[in-house]
Amino acid sequence: MTIYGPLSTALVRPLPRSFLNALKKYAPSVPIDWKFAHEQHEAYTEVVRQLVPSVMVVPADEAFPDCCFIEDTAVVSGRDVVISRIGAESRRGESEAIAEVFQKLGSTVHRLHAPATLDGGDVLQMKEHIFIGLSERTNQAAVDQMIQLLPDRKITPVSVQDGLHLKSVLSALADDVLLAADNAAGRAMAAEILDALGGDARCVFVPDSIAANVVRLGSTVLIQAGFPASEAILREVAQELNLSLMTLPMSELIKADGALTCCSLLVPAL
Ligand code: CIR
């Protein structure tokens, strides 16, 4: 099973005006500049439009300041889509509009139920594996329900030791190439994942946690601008894997704990 192959569709959701009230782990030293954040998100959307055949824009919902972080609302596994029960109560209503879109797309839509909570930022897929970060947002009940809902996938919980989500410190460049932050948490979590993958995969480490969150869109990898040491490592690996690299600044979204993966939901071409 290939996760990082061609894509058919991407879902994105623009920044609401209320984005300034988005949840933040730490108050930023310089407050979010909405216009700048909006421009960064628009630039991201433009790149997604260039690289994914079909892009669906779900209208922003002012009642949900974090709704642009659409990744957290669902997990796509082939034709199956599991609609999350988002960890933060203030965000829970974001998922309904996304369920409707997947229903229209003809996906088989499943739902997580209480007491399960899960954010898509805690879900990393590689080959037939789905790794689920146990974090302040995602719990074991979600892992148990995912195992029931997706019996064909190998589902492994990973304990999140640092950051908001599993993908705050790691992501994947390819089905057999993990990318992780070169720190104690990144190394420990990468070791658990490599162990489950059974020696068939390797991990690339970068010095910056934020730079360990990348998005693979076809044969292009989007990386965060502004982290030169990590970028140099990623350039070398991309060349080796025959992938193009595109850098995008997301500094304003980072202030609300956003990263690159969180701004889209990707549907593989089947
Ligand atoms: C939150 O705290 O839920 C949002 N401010 C950030 C969510 C980022 N999501 C992600 O990386 N998947």
Which atom number of ligand 1 is nearest to the Cα of residue 256? 5
Among 25, 92, 164, which residue has the most ligand 1 atoms within 8 Å of its CB, making it the best to mutate?
164
88 lines ligand 1 (CB under 6 A): yes
State the amino acid at position 42 in one-letter form. Answer: E
pLDDT, one tens digit per residue, over 23-45 is 999 889 999 999 999 999 999 99
In this prediction, residue 199 carries a pLDDT of 77
Indicate the pTM of the whole model.
Answer: 0.97
Rounded distance between C-alpha atoms, residue 83 and residue 143, angstroms: 13
Active site residues: 165, 262
In this prediction, residue 223 carries a pLDDT of 98
In what helix (H) or strand (E) does residue 194 lie, and over which residues does it extend? helix 184-197
Sheet holding 177-181, edge to edge: 170-174, 177-181, 202-206
In this prediction, residue 200 carries a pLDDT of 81
68 lines ligand 1 (CB under 6 A): no
121 lines ligand 1 (CB under 6 A): yes
Tokens of 142: 């979600």
State which residues of the chain have pLDDT below 50. Answer: none
Rounded distance between C-alpha atoms, residue 131 and residue 154, angstroms: 8
Please choose, from the candidates 258, 270, 269, the residue with its C-alpha nearest in 3D space to the C-alpha of residue 70. 258
In this prediction, residue 235 carries a pLDDT of 98
Q: DSSP string spanning 102-154?
A: HHHTT-EEEE--TT----GGGEEEETTEEEEEESSS--HHHHHHHHHH-TTSE
Q: Which residues pair with 82 in a beta bridge?
A: 75, 110
Rounded distance between C-alpha atoms, residue 53 and residue 34, angstroms: 29
